[in-house]
């Protein structure tokens, strides 16, 4: 009798702890999301990329919080249904956000490479104009120095382009991957909770 009471008490205690930790995880994520979203500027591509990257970085806490909360309320059909549906909706939303994040990162990467190309071309044009008109050169400046400067600018522009592309790929993979994993995890938790409620 004492042993069964102890097991029941331990189960209730563990569910209470899971409920508390799960709710803390979910509230913490919501507060982080609110802070990250301020000041809101969803029409700016840079803001969206940075925001979705931060959401992706923090999104893995959501399935943990949802699973713990779901376990904590597993005996309450009403809460079980609410948590399951919210998990399912949040999972679908995160999965859709990963598509937006991927598109935005690719667009921002293209814009950055275009800006680098434009600035490098502008400087190269100025150097070429100076070469074509040697009389306008400052004293102690030679055509050879301008040629070296042109080569250095080309090299730096190429390095910047490669770094921008690599950074874009890393950001895209991290953001899209985290959002997709968290989204699919939440969808699975939501579907499992709905099945539990029906059984």
Tens of pLDDT, residues 118-141: 988 888 888 888 778 777 777 777
- The reply to whether the predicted model has a pTM over 0.85 is no
| Integer CA distances (angstroms), 112 to 69, 81, 127, 186, in order | 43, 46, 23, 34
Q: What is the pLDDT of residue 78?
A: 87
Q: What is the pLDDT of residue 7?
A: 60
Q: What is the pLDDT of residue 1?
A: 43
Q: What is the pLDDT of residue 9?
A: 63
Where are the alpha helices (H) located in the chain, listed in sequence order?
2-36, 45-58, 61-72, 77-132, 143-198
Residue numbers of the chain with a pLDDT score lower than 50: 1-2, 4-5
Q: Are 49 and 108 in contact (CB under 8 A)?
A: yes
Q: What is the pLDDT of residue 22?
A: 95
């Amino acid at each position: 009798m004492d042993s069964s009471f102890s097991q029941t008490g331990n189960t209730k205690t563990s569910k209470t702890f899971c409920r508390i930790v799960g709710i803390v995880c979910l509230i913490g994520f919501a507060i982080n999301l609110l802070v990250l979203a301020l000041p809101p500027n969803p029409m700016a591509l840079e803001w969206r990329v940075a925001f979705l990257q931060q959401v992706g970085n923090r999104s893995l806490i959501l399935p943990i919080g949802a699973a713990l909360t779901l376990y904590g309320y597993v005996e309450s059909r009403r809460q079980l249904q609410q948590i399951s549906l919210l998990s399912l909706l949040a999972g679908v939303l995160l999965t859709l956000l990963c598509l937006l994040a991927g598109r935005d990162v690719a667009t921002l990467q293209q814009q950055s490479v275009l800006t680098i190309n434009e600035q490098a071309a502008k400087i190269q044009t100025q150097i070429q104009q100076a070469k074509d008109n040697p009389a306008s050169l400052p004293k102690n400046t030679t055509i050879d120095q301008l040629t070296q400067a042109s080569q250095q600018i080309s090299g730096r522009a190429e390095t910047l382009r490669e770094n921008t592309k690599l950074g874009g790929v890393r950001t895209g993979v991290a953001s899209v991957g985290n959002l997709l994993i968290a989204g699919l995890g939440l969808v699975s938790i939501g579907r499992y909770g709905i099945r539990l409620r029906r059984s």
